Every structure is written in C-alpha cells, then in structure tokens.
Amino acid sequence: MTDSGNPRELISREALQRRIDELAAEIERDYAGSRDLLCVGVLKGSVFFLSDLLQRLSRPLVVDFFQTSSYRGETTSHGEVRIRRDLDHSLAGRDVLLIEDIVDTGYTMRTIMALMGFRGARSVRLCVLLDKACKRETAVRIHYRGFEVDDVFVVGYGLDYNDRYRNLPYIGVLDESTAGCQGQ
Ligand code: 5GP
C-alpha cells in the first residue's frame, strides 16, 4: 500500500457528527446514575472522536488515555498487544467507558477490556467509532458503535497511515485493494 493517493471519502464530516450526537445521547442516558465515570481513550487514533463525543456529555467525568503498540506502517495486526503508555488513574470501583477508533480483529480491545476488569473496574463498556465486523477473529462486545465498515484500510478523523491523514475531517479509504467482506 502506498500513501501517495488522496483518500476517497467514505463517511462525511456531517455523517460523523450526526452519529456522534446519537451516541452521546445514548451514553448520557445509560450513565445517568453513575457517579464515577472514567472515559479512557486509546491513543492516538481515538483522540478526535473522543473529543467530539465527550464535549456533548454534560455529566461529570474524568478523561484518561493509554497507548498500545501501533502498526508501524503495516496494515494488518497480529494478535499481539503491548501497552506503551499506561493510565494515570486507578480503575478500582469505577465505571469505565473505553473509547476506540476502530475494532478490526478484536485482539486489542479484548486484551484491554480484560485488563480493566482485572484492575477492578466496576463496569467496562466499549464505544467504537468504526467496526470492521467481518474481520473479527476474537469476540468483543461493543456497547456503542458508530459505523460498520467493510474490509478496506481507512484513514482520517484520527486514523492514520504512517502517522499521516489524522487531521482529515472525514473517514476516507486509502487502500481499496484488500479483500472485501461481502460473502464472508
Ligand atoms: P485489532 O486489534 O482490532 O485488530 O486492531 C485495532 C487497531 O488496528 C486499531 O486501533 C487501529 O490502530 C488499527 N486498524 C485496524 N484497521 C485499521 C484501518 O483500516 N485503518 C487504520 N488507520 N488503522 C486500523
């Protein structure tokens, strides 16, 4: 895959913002009774999504981040998850809302969610902007899902290729050459 072309727009800025309105309304409703909501973003891809989402919530919350190992220019993941930057906050007894850009094979989120449970979170829910459901290799429960996408490599709105394209205000397809999900 090269990164010289212009990404084709897949999800417009307007469609993203409309869907985030809906997700925020759902989250606000579901956490109405929670006193101690910790919103955890996975660096760096979730940052644009997290920012737009959390600005729509009026309830008190705390924001924290962690970072897992990245693709380093490759476009497939291998089921190996490494924590590069850990959280500042303790999870013990807290309701955790994990915010991620995209779930592909599911290995990253499965590992992270298990870790949060192990660290004593009261509840852990997952909010994902994009779901490549047809690529899943391990089951992951997604509580809040923005959009389902096909098996194409997407960039923009936080998602990168070699650390580029994050600032696109829409989701674009960089590489259409990967196998499609149809018929799987
Ligand atoms: P998983 O462990 O679910 O296979 O991988 C999740 C991670 O893979 C995401 O956080 C993201 O960094 C990366 N990823 C998977 N698919 C794409 C994609 O289409 N575009 C980009 N930019 N990253 C992807």
pLDDT tens-place string over residues 25-50: 999 999 998 888 999 999 999 999 99
pTM for the whole structure: 0.91
Which position has the higher pLDDT, 22 or 182?
Answer: 22
Tell me the C-alpha distance between 51 and 33, whole Å: 22
Ligand 1, atom 17, residue with closest C-alpha: 153
CA–centroid distance, 113 to ligand 1, in Å, is 16
Q: Kindly list the structural domains of the chain, giving each domain's residue range(s) and its CATH number in brackets, ordered by start.
A: 34-70+82-162 (3.40.50.2020)
CA–centroid distance, 160 to ligand 1, in Å, is 9
The pLDDT value recorded for residue 134 is 94
Strands (E), the chain: 8-11, 37-43, 62-68, 83-85, 95-103, 123-131, 144-148, 153-155, 171-175
> Which of the residues 95, 104, 131, 160 is marked catalytic?
104
Residues with C-beta less than 6 Å from any ligand 1 atom: 45, 71, 77, 100-108, 132, 153-155, 159-161
The residue with tokens 């606000």 is 28
Q: Is the pLDDT of residue 129 over 80?
A: yes
Rg value, the chain, Cα: 16
What ligand 1 atom has the least distance to the C-alpha of 103? 3
What DSSP state is assigned to residue 6? P
* 3 part of the active site: no
